A and B are shown apart, each in its own frame.
Chain A
């Protein structure tokens, strides 16, 4: 049980981090921590290791405000409306052509089942990758609480929910999204982030699948 609790807490933190990577541009403080190797032992997965290494290297290269501005500009070019070289919305993957598509509505429903809703409903698409990461974070958080309160009994349901969400949504397009980043940017920071994400998603999918088997 303790193992499961530890795993869930760890995953919870990782999802929080992933959310922050794709929701906002990184601050100097974050870059400092990364260059100090805070993520060094995060995982044994090859992609994660490589990704973490790249992000650390890139962080060390940011020495002044101008470097930082360049990094922020790359974030905007990749993920923000306007250029959006790599759209971070599920609706635009797997054959979808418009924003606020079926995927956005479907995940909105999932969130609501857990009592959650995006703050800027109808204005910001619900299927932004950062929001989906945040949802996984919440589910992990609830799982942790359930584990601490009543042991594995209720946790099963939450883990099942995470697996469903991974299989139906996140895991379905995140790898593609990461590959697209790798094809679209020379920024080591974001190439690293893509690898880290890809590797973690792969591991987590497998983990959730296993956890579901009795």
Chain B
């Protein structure tokens, strides 16, 4: 570098001067944050491969959130591996993670703010500055709040665990309904764990290695050879190998199988897990879709009749079992009029499921006589069904009565044992603000949260919020039905969609489009006055936004992951590359929006709670970890025998281990040194606390402290709705199944699934629409990740198959520059115009059984037109395959009918692939949580197109 020969300051004089004034004092600035901190491992790799920067972060390609080791060079992502320090994925990846650069540098990236030009849905935007975009948003919000209050704003924070800044932002601006993807993920699946133990996700005990306290006091990582494994695993509508949602279930299941575990996969299609199971001594059980309830009910009846249940466990750790079994047994002598058989008998179940009676008995015997074991039910099979609660309830009950819950090699609720995080950072305290509204002419004062559009209105037990019903609520407006504001009405005028794509995922796409396009008949303005999309990729939701803000990609932002391990683990995310274009992190966006609101006169915003406080992401995420890990020192073996049992643990693993703690005997809390982003940086990005089993004392967060078969959580809801209007969900239930509830069930209950051949009420529909349409993920997992063209080369599950028509597309792909073996391969991501020849690239594929195909004259490559029970038609190309039972069509989720150009190559296939959500009945919302019945679809084939030279 150039410096002038003329030294403008002389070193000797300067040194003397400094000495004169005294030694350098650091009195104003102190070392606070060291963003260059590294663990030894990073340094080692960087020394070997010079020019590369190694950082640890975690993935967001799918919600699995695997720990990553990312190498960058000159500010670009070069290598992506798993992080060995994260026990969840233990240094490994899947077919998605390593292709992460394809998403970060995708052509669909939103790089700068945009504003809509033209009508919603046209997809015409102009680039604007951040200031302009924020100005528009703030002006609108302040105006909307003046007229309708903060409750007229919805903030949907979309996916995964990076959401606390948006919760804070939304609540801070006065919106009580902050939703997240969980609302439309799989709430029926969570029903059982939630009401029995206030849990969420039950997974087989397969995460190895895991850190376990030894009898000599040391901590040791124990592997598959050191600890018990399940002797059977039954996956009901759950395909861990493709969904790769719970990373350790991949390596864990295959390892357990080799050691003799019987893997039983109950699925109408031979998914990857079923295929692998049958190749290694397991079973594929091709059940009639939607009859998992009947299947599990028969198994439970069999267990109770044979007396297989673990009575000692039940006596000690459960409550309400007698009422539950009594309600369950009340069906035993009843005859099901649809088939003349007694409920829950093996014959009855065989008739409903179309499985052989011998097979169900065989499975029931395995479950009843093999320990330890685990039943695991899935997102799609159970979680996406109107009657999914029942399978979830039965699966939970069976796991518990067989004594497998929290047994070594049994089943773990990974939500119960996960770390606590968020604390005040999420802004929950804003919800306690006092607000005053005029109700029927009189002023009423209450708390901000008592204006909630679901819990205090149509969905009193909507514990996960009810995103699936947003279109109707926005079209019709809200009326509060409980609490101090009862009778108060307000409209929804603004909606933020952050990282989610509800136009495709929320329920039926057409319903969401209707909502966005709806106009006020008087003013002619859009009913929903402000739609904001904050995302890193231009998806369908953005096409309906008024303002689009560029969000940092997962390689460019911060966060803390914690969801799926079976022991407390915290994994940090920090940027490995600078945000592309003008995109910003969540904290930056939170600050920018709240500051704009403040400057436009929003008196709800306090600068000291936003941009003045969180001047760097680290400050926010450190606050998020203030309650971490927040688990109790309980279980076998006791995680910290040197610390009081039963007390809550806070702080870093090493400080707890060394006893560098202060103990609060009054509150029963052990305070170690607070865990921070810096601590994580020094420890390869991961904090691991010891595993334990039988954590009943903590692992059962119910009021009674026991596993509840009579559910106090729903008893509370019944108190709330007593004397009040009938919840909307009950009306729908009566409409769809004929069942009449006047309160929520508090123990075993039953109803038949709608739109199902096994339900006689739907005999007419079944006759006209003989197919059941099911769906499931392909590798991509989320609607955003189709924007990575590289995933077009990873077929799976007979629903993502190379059956493309010839097409051309611009794609960003690796261009190899040099590879001669001994040198580091060179290449860079470039945008190229590529021609994809017919049959070389994966597209959404409809799987069809050969018998059905024969009956319709269909061969692989034909395009069928499918019509659903509501008369909606779509086309899809077909794969004729033996990997699916007759009477069922399987379509992949999010893979077809994509109409945002931002998804690149998948957009090109929209004419001959279907968006399976278009077939969903948007009014079919489950009675308790309001979850859309995504999988309750009946259909028929109305046309078959053979390929021609024109269409190939």
Contacts and interface: CB of A to CB of B under 8 A. Distances in A.
A30 interface: yes
Nearest to B7: A7
B17 A109 contact: no
Contacts of B611: 105
B17 A210 contact: no
Contact of B13 (A38, A204, A206): A38
A136 to B, nearest CB: 11
A23 interface: yes
A203 B33 contact: no
A115 B676 CA distance: 14
Nearest to A213: B2
B4, B14, B20 interface centre (most CB from chain A within 10 Å): B14
B29 A156 contact: no
A109 B618 CA distance: 11
A17 B13 contact: no
A156 B9 contact: no
B30 A14 contact: no
A118 B28 contact: yes
Given A112-B616, A210-B2, A211-B3, A9 B11 contact: yes
A13 B3 contact: no
A117 interface: yes
Interface in B213-252: none
| Chain B interface, DSSP helix/strand/loop, else mixed | loop
Interface residues of A, number: 62
B22, B35, B618 interface centre (most CB from chain A within 10 Å): B22
B337 interface: no
B833 interface: no
Contacts of A214: 1-2
Contacts of B11: 6-7, 9-10, 13
A10 B14 contact: yes
A212 to B, nearest CB: 8
Nearest to A3: B3
Given A11-B9, A109-B615, A203-B8, A16 B29 contact: no
A41 interface: yes
Interface in B6-35: 6-18, 20-22, 24-35
B31 A115 contact: yes
A25 interface: no
A34 B19 CA distance: 11
A119 B25 CA distance: 12
Interface in B593-647: 611-612, 615-616, 618
Given A38-B16, A117-B30, A210 B4 contact: yes
B35 A44 contact: no
A207 B20 CA distance: 25
Given A138-B29, A214-B2, A13 B17 contact: yes
A28 to B, nearest CB: 12
Nearest to B4: A210
A65 B477 CA distance: 78
A211 B36 CA distance: 24
Contacts of B612: 100, 105, 122
A131 B27 CA distance: 9
Contact of B17 (A7, A17, A44, A135): A17
A169 interface: no
A115 to B, nearest CB: 4
Nearest to B17: A17
Given A13-B15, A119-B27, A119-B29, A207 B4 contact: yes
Given A11-B9, A45-B8, A159-B1, A115 B32 contact: yes
Given A17-B21, A38-B13, A130 B3 contact: no
B9 A200 contact: yes
A152 to B, nearest CB: 7
Contacts of B34: 115
A203 B21 contact: no
Contacts of A14: 9, 14, 17-18
Contacts of B32: 112, 115-117
A199 B528 CA distance: 59
Interface in B628-673: none
Contacts of A113: 35, 616
A137 B23 CA distance: 13
A29 B17 CA distance: 12
Contact of A33 (B2, B20, B33, B615): B20
B2 to A, nearest CB: 5
Nearest to A159: B1
A40 interface: yes
Contacts of A10: 7, 9-11, 13-15
B615 A105 contact: yes
Interface string A81-125: 000000000000000000010000100110111011111001010
Contact of B8 (A20, A29, A207): A207
B6 A42 contact: no
B30 A211 contact: no
A124 B36 CA distance: 27
Contacts of B6: 44
B619 to A, nearest CB: 8
Contacts of B618: 112
Contact of A119 (B9, B28, B615): B28
A53 interface: no
Contact of B9 (A7, A112, A117, A128): A7
A13, A17, A128, A206 interface centre (most CB from chain B within 10 Å): A13
Contacts of A118: 28-30
A4 B3 contact: yes
Contacts of B20: 17, 29-30, 33-34, 38
23 contacts: A3-B7, A4-B1, A7-B3, A13-B15, A20-B25, A23-B27, A42-B10, A43-B13, A44-B8, A105-B615, A109-B616, A112-B33, A112-B618, A115-B32, A117-B32, A118-B29, A119-B27, A134-B29, A200-B9, A203-B9, A206-B4, A210-B4, A211-B1
Interface of B: 1-4, 6-18, 20-22, 24-36, 611-612, 615-616, 618
Interface of A: 3-4, 6-7, 9-14, 16-17, 19-21, 23, 29-30, 33-34, 38-45, 100, 105, 108-109, 111-113, 115-119, 122, 124, 128, 130-131, 134-135, 137-138, 152, 156, 159, 200, 203-204, 206-207, 210-214
Nearest 4 CB-CB pairings of A with B? A33-B20, A13-B18, A117-B32, A13-B14
Given A16-B21, A113-B35, A128-B28, 17 more contacts: A7-B11, A10-B11, A13-B14, A13-B17, A16-B18, A16-B24, A17-B18, A17-B20, A19-B28, A43-B8, A43-B13, A115-B31, A115-B33, A207-B4, A210-B2, A210-B3, A211-B2
